[in-house]
Amino acid sequence: MENSWSIKRRKTRRINVGNVSVGGDAPVRVQSMCNTDTRNVKATIDQIHELEDAGCEIIRVAVPDKQAASVLHEIKRGIDLPLVADIHFDHELALEAIKQGVDKIRINPGNIAMRSGRKGVEEVVRAAKDAGIAIRIGVNSGSIEKHLIDKYGYPTPEAAVESALDHIRFCESLDFENLIISVKFSRVPEMISAYKLLSSKIDYPLHLGVTEAGTSWIGTIKSAIGIGTLLSMGIGDTFRVSLTTPDKTEEIRTAYEILKSLEIRSHGPMFTSCPTCGRTEVDMLKLTKGVQDVLKDVKEPIRVAVMGCIVNGPGEAKEADIAVVGGKGRGAIYKKGKLVKTTTEEGLIDAFKAELDALGKESQA
């Protein structure tokens, strides 16, 4: 997508996660995490397919025990997306996940070292090196090492960054640099500060996220502000929007809306609608829903606007490829600011669909 206000992305190394590259010149990658019981292979594969259809590019699953670790190869066989194993505390699980053929492991070396010592972390790093896979060092504000909490007083951005840098140096001392790094906080200002600080010190790709962001409404706002602020500064190579939601595809849709809002990546239509006001002359809720239903399966990055009155609507929708403008019982369709059709209010959705199809044919010609 043409980026008229030119976000200059920070230069990072390119790291491969299976067949998907992260960092360097690669697009900012969208990822998610399953909420199925990993041991339930079918449910997990089904959810991964659903997330892939929505646009997910890298998928992570929790590996809480040996049984979950033992089915990773089966999950991998059933999917096309790169598979990431998320492991806490138990380095044996990380070793098993690597043996099972995952494309990356996510560990917090601090909590692995707590249980198995640095020796355990070393074994994992060496196994990842032999397998040629990447490791994400995932530092979370809630699990920063005690000596750093003692040093900084509480989990500060500086503490999180120092923790990440310690782990990075340890991996580098083992000649392992196939790394992606995250320093997640649930508080947005600290999350932004931590990533800004980290990005000034290293050139490994950064995985962004606001951890425990909350339910759809709150989590979307926190993620859009936290992740969006960093992306607007050119920081971040991949990210996950974390939402407490029954429909995990919402994380993917939200992620792409963040990218589309910043004009970093296109993914399907860019939709705008007027907020309505005292001049509104049409049932806007019905009209926007009708237009969005038509757009549901559209993959092209077209700009669509729905406006509520004939007075200001056409002017406000000038930027749109297609604008649907309501009037008093009648409405109009505009293409790139030019009136192409007037019709009854009831006929607007059909007219929109016809113009959309025509636009698709024009762009193929």
Q: Which residues bind ligand SF4 (CB under 6 A)?
A: 274-277, 279-280, 307-309, 311-313, 316
**Which residue pairs, CB below 8 angstroms and at least 24 apart, start in 65-68?**
65/93, 66/92, 66/93, 66/96, 67/39, 68/37, 68/38, 68/39, 68/93
DSSP, collapsed to helix, strand or coil, labels residue 330 as: strand
Task: Kindly tell me which of 249 and 280 has the beta carbon lying closer to ligand SF4.
Answer: 280
- Smallest gap from residue 314 Cβ to ligand SF4 (A): 9
- Dihedral angle over CA of 247, 253, 255, 259, nearest 10: 180
- Smallest gap from residue 260 Cβ to ligand SF4 (A): 21
- Smallest gap from residue 83 Cβ to ligand SF4 (A): 46
Q: Rounded to an integer, what distance in angstroms lies between the CA atom of residue 18 and that of residue 70? A: 19
The per-residue b/e assignment along 153-175, b for 16 or more CB within 10 angstroms, e otherwise, is eebbbebbbbbbbbbbebbeeee
Nearest Cα residue to 220 out of 190, 243, 247: 243
Neighbours of 233 (CB within 10 A): 16
Q: Rounded to an integer, what distance in angstroms lies between the CA atom of residue 182 and that of residue 206? A: 6
- Smallest gap from residue 315 Cβ to ligand SF4 (A): 8
Task: Kindly tell me which of 86 and 281 has the beta carbon lying closer to ligand SF4.
Answer: 281
- Smallest gap from residue 18 Cβ to ligand SF4 (A): 46
237, 180 Cβ separation under 8 angstroms: yes
Task: Kindly tell me which of 87 and 307 has the beta carbon lying closer to ligand SF4.
Answer: 307
| DSSP run (H or E) holding 261 | helix 249-261
- Smallest gap from residue 280 Cβ to ligand SF4 (A): 4
Task: Kindly tell me which of 18 and 313 has the beta carbon lying closer to ligand SF4.
Answer: 313
Task: Kindly tell me which of 155 and 326 has the beta carbon lying closer to ligand SF4.
Answer: 326
HSE value, Cβ hemisphere, 13 Å, CA-based, for 219: 21
- Smallest gap from residue 275 Cβ to ligand SF4 (A): 5
Task: Kindly tell me which of 37 and 345 has the beta carbon lying closer to ligand SF4.
Answer: 345
Task: Kindly tell me which of 224 and 309 has the beta carbon lying closer to ligand SF4.
Answer: 309
